[in-house]
Structure 1
Protein backbone atom coordinates (compact mmCIF):
# COMPACT_ATOMS: atom_id res chain seq x y z
CA UNK A 1 0.00 0.00 0.00
CA UNK A 2 1.34 3.44 -0.92
CA UNK A 3 1.77 5.72 2.11
CA UNK A 4 -0.36 8.85 2.19
CA UNK A 5 1.47 12.06 1.30
CA UNK A 6 2.18 14.35 4.22
CA UNK A 7 -0.64 16.84 4.75
CA UNK A 8 -3.30 14.38 3.55
CA UNK A 9 -6.69 14.40 5.25
CA UNK A 10 -9.17 11.55 5.01
CA UNK A 11 -12.94 11.44 5.17
CA UNK A 12 -14.72 8.11 5.64
CA UNK A 13 -18.26 6.91 5.99
CA UNK A 14 -19.38 5.46 9.33
CA UNK A 15 -18.94 1.83 8.28
CA UNK A 16 -15.60 2.41 6.54
CA UNK A 17 -16.61 1.28 3.04
CA UNK A 18 -16.04 4.73 1.46
CA UNK A 19 -12.96 6.91 1.90
CA UNK A 20 -11.83 10.18 0.35
CA UNK A 21 -8.32 11.58 0.53
CA UNK A 22 -7.57 15.28 0.28
CA UNK A 23 -3.99 16.42 -0.29
CA UNK A 24 -2.81 19.82 0.85
CA UNK A 25 -4.62 22.47 2.81
CA UNK A 26 -8.35 23.05 2.33
CA UNK A 27 -9.71 26.17 0.69
CA UNK A 28 -11.90 26.97 3.69
CA UNK A 29 -13.88 25.31 6.46
CA UNK A 30 -17.41 26.66 6.93
CA UNK A 31 -20.77 26.09 8.55
CA UNK A 32 -23.53 26.72 6.01
CA UNK A 33 -27.04 27.80 7.02
CA UNK A 34 -28.71 28.00 3.59
CA UNK A 35 -32.18 26.53 3.24
CA UNK A 36 -30.91 23.89 0.75
CA UNK A 37 -28.36 22.55 3.23
CA UNK A 38 -31.01 22.51 5.96
CA UNK A 39 -33.48 20.63 3.74
CA UNK A 40 -30.83 18.17 2.55
CA UNK A 41 -29.69 17.63 6.13
CA UNK A 42 -33.22 16.72 7.20
CA UNK A 43 -33.64 14.38 4.22
CA UNK A 44 -30.37 12.59 4.91
CA UNK A 45 -31.08 12.33 8.64
CA UNK A 46 -34.42 10.72 7.68
CA UNK A 47 -32.65 7.80 5.98
CA UNK A 48 -32.39 4.53 7.92
CA UNK A 49 -29.54 4.66 10.45
CA UNK A 50 -28.10 7.85 8.95
CA UNK A 51 -25.73 9.87 11.14
CA UNK A 52 -26.61 13.40 12.26
CA UNK A 53 -25.96 16.02 9.59
CA UNK A 54 -27.19 19.31 11.01
CA UNK A 55 -25.58 21.10 13.93
CA UNK A 56 -27.93 21.90 16.84
CA UNK A 57 -28.14 25.45 15.40
CA UNK A 58 -29.20 24.06 11.94
CA UNK A 59 -25.84 24.63 10.22
CA UNK A 60 -23.95 22.05 8.17
CA UNK A 61 -20.16 21.91 8.48
CA UNK A 62 -18.05 21.56 5.33
CA UNK A 63 -14.37 21.55 4.41
CA UNK A 64 -13.88 22.86 0.87
CA UNK A 65 -11.11 21.27 -1.21
CA UNK A 66 -9.84 21.74 -4.74
CA UNK A 67 -11.08 18.89 -6.95
CA UNK A 68 -7.58 18.31 -8.31
CA UNK A 69 -6.40 17.46 -4.79
CA UNK A 70 -9.19 15.03 -3.96
CA UNK A 71 -9.85 11.41 -4.77
CA UNK A 72 -12.18 8.71 -3.61
CA UNK A 73 -9.73 5.93 -2.75
CA UNK A 74 -12.28 3.38 -1.58
CA UNK A 75 -15.91 2.60 -2.37
CA UNK A 76 -16.83 5.11 -5.06
CA UNK A 77 -19.44 2.64 -6.31
CA UNK A 78 -21.19 3.08 -2.93
CA UNK A 79 -21.87 6.79 -3.59
CA UNK A 80 -25.25 7.97 -4.79
CA UNK A 81 -26.35 11.48 -5.60
CA UNK A 82 -29.07 13.21 -3.62
CA UNK A 83 -30.58 16.24 -5.34
CA UNK A 84 -33.35 18.35 -3.90
CA UNK A 85 -35.13 18.81 -7.25
CA UNK A 86 -34.68 17.35 -10.75
CA UNK A 87 -33.09 20.64 -11.87
CA UNK A 88 -30.78 21.16 -8.87
CA UNK A 89 -27.31 22.50 -9.62
CA UNK A 90 -25.97 20.77 -6.52
CA UNK A 91 -25.74 17.17 -5.53
CA UNK A 92 -24.90 15.61 -2.22
CA UNK A 93 -22.95 12.38 -2.33
CA UNK A 94 -24.39 9.95 0.23
CA UNK A 95 -23.24 6.37 0.78
CA UNK A 96 -25.58 3.47 0.03
CA UNK A 97 -23.92 1.33 2.71
CA UNK A 98 -24.61 3.46 5.83
CA UNK A 99 -26.25 6.66 4.52
CA UNK A 100 -23.29 8.82 5.49
CA UNK A 101 -23.20 12.17 3.68
CA UNK A 102 -19.72 12.52 2.18
CA UNK A 103 -19.65 15.59 -0.06
CA UNK A 104 -21.55 18.43 -1.69
CA UNK A 105 -20.77 19.24 -5.32
CA UNK A 106 -21.82 22.29 -7.31
CA UNK A 107 -22.35 21.71 -11.04
CA UNK A 108 -19.43 23.37 -12.80
CA UNK A 109 -17.57 23.96 -9.54
CA UNK A 110 -13.82 23.48 -9.20
CA UNK A 111 -14.11 22.42 -5.55
CA UNK A 112 -15.84 19.73 -3.55
CA UNK A 113 -17.20 20.35 -0.07
CA UNK A 114 -16.56 17.38 2.21
CA UNK A 115 -18.86 16.99 5.18
CA UNK A 116 -16.60 17.96 8.09
CA UNK A 117 -18.07 15.27 10.39
CA UNK A 118 -16.74 12.63 8.00
CA UNK A 119 -13.15 13.80 8.43
CA UNK A 120 -10.84 11.65 10.49
CA UNK A 121 -8.91 13.26 13.33
CA UNK A 122 -7.43 16.58 12.43
CA UNK A 123 -10.44 18.16 10.72
CA UNK A 124 -9.66 21.87 10.43
CA UNK A 125 -11.53 24.25 12.72
CA UNK A 126 -14.34 26.29 11.21
CA UNK A 127 -13.21 29.55 9.59
CA UNK A 128 -16.65 31.14 9.31
CA UNK A 129 -20.41 30.74 9.16
CA UNK A 130 -22.03 31.49 5.81
CA UNK A 131 -25.59 32.09 4.59
CA UNK A 132 -26.75 32.95 8.11
CA UNK A 133 -29.59 35.09 6.73
CA UNK A 134 -31.38 31.77 6.07
CA UNK A 135 -30.91 30.28 9.54
CA UNK A 136 -34.13 29.36 11.35
CA UNK A 137 -35.86 32.06 13.37
CA UNK A 138 -34.78 32.11 16.98
CA UNK A 139 -31.37 30.56 16.37
CA UNK A 140 -28.65 32.52 18.15
CA UNK A 141 -25.14 32.08 16.79
CA UNK A 142 -22.04 32.20 18.96
CA UNK A 143 -19.54 34.99 18.39
CA UNK A 144 -16.57 32.61 18.27
CA UNK A 145 -16.01 32.88 14.49
CA UNK A 146 -17.17 35.39 11.85
CA UNK A 147 -20.75 34.97 10.61
CA UNK A 148 -22.00 36.34 7.30
CA UNK A 149 -25.55 36.66 5.90
CA UNK A 150 -24.30 35.46 2.49
CA UNK A 151 -20.91 34.44 1.16
CA UNK A 152 -18.13 36.62 2.52
CA UNK A 153 -15.56 38.36 0.37
CA UNK A 154 -12.97 36.08 1.97
CA UNK A 155 -15.01 33.02 0.96
CA UNK A 156 -15.26 34.19 -2.66
CA UNK A 157 -11.59 35.29 -2.75
CA UNK A 158 -10.37 31.89 -1.58
CA UNK A 159 -12.51 30.09 -4.16
CA UNK A 160 -11.21 32.36 -6.92
CA UNK A 161 -7.61 32.05 -5.75
CA UNK A 162 -7.90 28.24 -5.80
CA UNK A 163 -9.41 28.30 -9.30
CA UNK A 164 -6.60 30.52 -10.60
CA UNK A 165 -4.05 28.13 -9.05
CA UNK A 166 -5.81 25.28 -10.88
CA UNK A 167 -5.47 27.06 -14.24
CA UNK A 168 -9.25 27.65 -14.39
CA UNK A 169 -9.82 23.91 -14.82
CA UNK A 170 -12.82 22.00 -13.50
CA UNK A 171 -11.51 18.44 -13.11
CA UNK A 172 -13.46 15.37 -12.16
CA UNK A 173 -12.74 13.86 -8.76
CA UNK A 174 -11.01 10.53 -9.22
CA UNK A 175 -13.18 7.63 -8.03
CA UNK A 176 -16.44 9.61 -7.89
CA UNK A 177 -19.18 8.54 -10.33
CA UNK A 178 -20.41 11.25 -12.71
Structure 2
Protein backbone atom coordinates (compact mmCIF):
# COMPACT_ATOMS: atom_id res chain seq x y z
CA UNK A 1 0.00 0.00 0.00
CA UNK A 2 1.45 3.44 -0.95
CA UNK A 3 2.46 5.75 1.86
CA UNK A 4 0.55 8.97 2.52
CA UNK A 5 3.61 10.89 1.34
CA UNK A 6 3.34 9.28 -2.11
CA UNK A 7 -0.44 9.62 -2.42
CA UNK A 8 -0.93 13.13 -1.02
CA UNK A 9 -2.05 15.30 -3.93
CA UNK A 10 -2.88 18.98 -4.26
CA UNK A 11 -3.47 21.27 -7.18
CA UNK A 12 -2.30 24.75 -8.01
CA UNK A 13 -3.95 26.96 -10.58
CA UNK A 14 -4.07 30.45 -11.97
CA UNK A 15 -6.93 32.64 -10.76
CA UNK A 16 -9.12 31.90 -13.80
CA UNK A 17 -8.43 28.14 -13.68
CA UNK A 18 -6.94 27.80 -17.17
CA UNK A 19 -3.49 26.73 -15.93
CA UNK A 20 -3.43 23.84 -13.47
CA UNK A 21 -0.56 21.95 -11.90
CA UNK A 22 -0.72 18.73 -9.89
CA UNK A 23 1.62 18.35 -6.91
CA UNK A 24 2.03 14.83 -5.57
CA UNK A 25 3.60 13.87 -2.27
CA UNK A 26 4.55 15.82 0.79
CA UNK A 27 6.03 19.24 -0.03
CA UNK A 28 9.67 19.89 0.84
CA UNK A 29 8.46 22.84 2.95
CA UNK A 30 6.23 25.89 3.04
CA UNK A 31 8.17 29.11 3.56
CA UNK A 32 7.85 32.86 3.09
CA UNK A 33 10.77 34.58 1.38
CA UNK A 34 11.73 38.20 2.02
CA UNK A 35 14.58 38.53 -0.48
CA UNK A 36 14.80 41.58 -2.71
CA UNK A 37 14.35 39.60 -5.94
CA UNK A 38 11.09 37.98 -4.76
CA UNK A 39 9.75 41.37 -3.73
CA UNK A 40 10.87 43.04 -6.98
CA UNK A 41 9.36 40.34 -9.20
CA UNK A 42 6.20 40.20 -7.08
CA UNK A 43 5.60 43.93 -7.43
CA UNK A 44 6.17 43.72 -11.21
CA UNK A 45 3.57 40.94 -11.44
CA UNK A 46 1.08 42.75 -9.20
CA UNK A 47 1.19 45.72 -11.59
CA UNK A 48 -0.13 43.59 -14.47
CA UNK A 49 -3.83 44.13 -15.34
CA UNK A 50 -6.06 42.00 -13.08
CA UNK A 51 -3.10 40.27 -11.42
CA UNK A 52 -3.49 38.88 -7.90
CA UNK A 53 -1.39 40.07 -4.96
CA UNK A 54 1.92 38.28 -4.61
CA UNK A 55 3.85 40.13 -1.89
CA UNK A 56 2.30 40.30 1.57
CA UNK A 57 1.89 43.50 3.55
CA UNK A 58 5.03 42.52 5.51
CA UNK A 59 7.11 42.21 2.31
CA UNK A 60 7.11 38.40 2.24
CA UNK A 61 6.28 36.08 -0.64
CA UNK A 62 4.80 32.74 0.50
CA UNK A 63 5.81 29.58 -1.38
CA UNK A 64 5.34 25.83 -1.18
CA UNK A 65 8.50 24.05 -2.34
CA UNK A 66 7.94 20.76 -4.18
CA UNK A 67 10.18 18.21 -5.82
CA UNK A 68 10.30 18.56 -9.62
CA UNK A 69 9.74 14.83 -10.02
CA UNK A 70 6.41 15.16 -8.21
CA UNK A 71 4.68 17.72 -10.38
CA UNK A 72 2.71 17.61 -13.59
CA UNK A 73 1.10 20.36 -15.66
CA UNK A 74 -2.52 19.29 -16.08
CA UNK A 75 -3.76 22.10 -18.33
CA UNK A 76 -2.89 25.43 -19.82
CA UNK A 77 0.90 25.20 -19.75
CA UNK A 78 0.93 26.85 -23.18
CA UNK A 79 -0.48 29.95 -21.41
CA UNK A 80 2.66 30.36 -19.30
CA UNK A 81 5.23 33.07 -19.86
CA UNK A 82 8.71 32.85 -18.39
CA UNK A 83 10.03 35.90 -16.55
CA UNK A 84 13.58 36.52 -15.36
CA UNK A 85 14.76 39.63 -13.54
CA UNK A 86 17.87 39.66 -15.74
CA UNK A 87 18.61 37.61 -18.89
CA UNK A 88 21.35 35.64 -17.10
CA UNK A 89 19.34 34.95 -13.94
CA UNK A 90 19.19 31.25 -12.98
CA UNK A 91 15.76 31.94 -11.46
CA UNK A 92 12.73 32.02 -13.70
CA UNK A 93 9.14 32.64 -12.76
CA UNK A 94 6.09 31.31 -14.58
CA UNK A 95 3.11 33.66 -15.04
CA UNK A 96 -0.19 32.66 -16.65
CA UNK A 97 -0.88 35.21 -19.36
CA UNK A 98 -4.61 34.32 -19.41
CA UNK A 99 -5.12 36.16 -16.08
CA UNK A 100 -1.63 37.43 -15.13
CA UNK A 101 -1.33 35.01 -12.20
CA UNK A 102 2.20 34.17 -11.07
CA UNK A 103 2.27 30.37 -10.66
CA UNK A 104 5.76 29.32 -9.61
CA UNK A 105 9.45 30.12 -9.34
CA UNK A 106 12.16 27.77 -10.51
CA UNK A 107 15.83 27.88 -9.65
CA UNK A 108 16.79 26.26 -12.95
CA UNK A 109 19.85 24.49 -11.52
CA UNK A 110 17.81 23.06 -8.64
CA UNK A 111 15.61 20.04 -8.07
CA UNK A 112 12.56 21.88 -6.70
CA UNK A 113 9.83 24.25 -7.83
CA UNK A 114 8.54 26.99 -5.52
CA UNK A 115 4.79 27.33 -6.11
CA UNK A 116 3.21 30.61 -5.00
CA UNK A 117 1.14 29.54 -1.97
CA UNK A 118 -1.90 31.57 -3.04
CA UNK A 119 -2.17 29.39 -6.16
CA UNK A 120 -3.03 26.37 -3.98
CA UNK A 121 -6.57 26.28 -2.56
CA UNK A 122 -6.70 27.23 1.11
CA UNK A 123 -7.84 23.79 2.26
CA UNK A 124 -4.91 22.10 0.47
CA UNK A 125 -2.23 24.68 1.31
CA UNK A 126 0.28 23.61 3.98
CA UNK A 127 0.94 26.18 6.72
CA UNK A 128 4.07 28.28 6.51
CA UNK A 129 6.86 26.68 8.54
CA UNK A 130 9.50 29.41 8.41
CA UNK A 131 10.36 32.86 7.09
CA UNK A 132 13.63 33.11 5.21
CA UNK A 133 15.99 35.90 4.18
CA UNK A 134 14.21 38.20 6.64
CA UNK A 135 17.32 40.40 6.68
CA UNK A 136 16.06 41.78 3.33
CA UNK A 137 12.57 42.64 4.61
CA UNK A 138 11.42 46.24 4.20
CA UNK A 139 12.63 48.72 6.82
CA UNK A 140 10.38 48.98 9.84
CA UNK A 141 8.69 45.60 9.37
CA UNK A 142 8.53 43.65 12.61
CA UNK A 143 7.83 39.94 12.28
CA UNK A 144 6.07 37.81 14.89
CA UNK A 145 7.96 34.92 16.48
CA UNK A 146 5.18 32.37 15.81
CA UNK A 147 7.49 30.49 13.40
CA UNK A 148 11.28 30.71 12.88
CA UNK A 149 12.58 33.88 11.20
CA UNK A 150 15.93 33.29 9.47
CA UNK A 151 18.11 36.12 8.13
CA UNK A 152 19.46 33.82 5.42
CA UNK A 153 18.65 30.31 4.22
CA UNK A 154 18.94 28.30 7.42
CA UNK A 155 20.51 24.93 8.05
CA UNK A 156 16.99 23.50 8.37
CA UNK A 157 16.04 25.00 4.98
CA UNK A 158 19.17 23.63 3.32
CA UNK A 159 18.79 20.22 5.01
CA UNK A 160 15.23 19.87 3.66
CA UNK A 161 16.44 20.68 0.15
CA UNK A 162 19.37 18.24 0.45
CA UNK A 163 17.26 15.34 1.76
CA UNK A 164 14.69 15.88 -1.01
CA UNK A 165 17.50 15.87 -3.58
CA UNK A 166 18.96 12.68 -2.12
CA UNK A 167 15.52 11.05 -2.28
CA UNK A 168 15.46 11.99 -5.98
CA UNK A 169 18.79 10.24 -6.58
CA UNK A 170 20.54 13.61 -6.86
CA UNK A 171 18.70 14.39 -10.09
CA UNK A 172 17.33 17.78 -11.16
CA UNK A 173 14.71 17.16 -13.84
CA UNK A 174 14.06 20.04 -16.25
CA UNK A 175 10.77 21.90 -16.21
CA UNK A 176 9.47 22.63 -19.67
CA UNK A 177 6.21 24.31 -18.77
CA UNK A 178 5.25 25.37 -22.26
CA UNK A 179 5.59 21.80 -23.48
CA UNK A 180 4.07 20.25 -20.37
CA UNK A 181 5.93 18.11 -17.90
CA UNK A 182 5.20 14.51 -17.12
CA UNK A 183 6.55 12.49 -14.24
Whether contact under 8 Å (1:71, 1:176) holds in the other structure is no
Residue in structure 1 matched with residue 81 of structure 2 by the alignment:
80
1:139 to 135, 138, 141: 141
Whether contact under 8 Å (2:108, 2:174) holds in the other structure is no
Aligned residue pair count: 173
Q: Which runs of 5+ in 1 are unaligned?
A: none
CA distance in 2, matches of 1:122, 1:86: 34
Residue in structure 2 matched with residue 124 of structure 1 by the alignment:
126
Secondary structure (helix, strand or coil) at the match of 1:151 reads coil
Secondary structure (helix, strand or coil) at the match of 1:177 reads helix
CA distance in 2, matches of 1:87, 1:72: 25
**Deviation digits for residues 78-97 of structure 1, max 9, x if unmatched?**
11111111111101100010
2:153 to 151, 154, 161: 151
Residue in structure 2 matched with residue 54 of structure 1 by the alignment:
55
Which aligned segments of 4 or more residues in structure 1 are displaced greater than 6 angstroms?
none
Whether contact under 8 Å (2:59, 2:138) holds in the other structure is yes
Using the size of structure 2 for normalisation, the TM-score is: 0.92
Secondary structure (helix, strand or coil) at the match of 1:31 reads strand
CA drift of 1:172 comes to 2.5
**Deviation digits for residues 91-123 of structure 1, max 9, x if unmatched?**
110001001010000021100000000002220
Whether contact under 8 Å (2:79, 2:178) holds in the other structure is no
CA drift of 1:56 comes to 0.7
CA distance in 1, matches of 2:67, 2:13: 18
Residue in structure 2 matched with residue 92 of structure 1 by the alignment:
93
CA drift of 1:177 comes to 2.7
Residue in structure 2 matched with residue 163 of structure 1 by the alignment:
165
Question: 2:85 aligned with 1:107, yes or no?
Answer: no
Question: 2:13 aligned with 1:12, yes or no?
Answer: yes
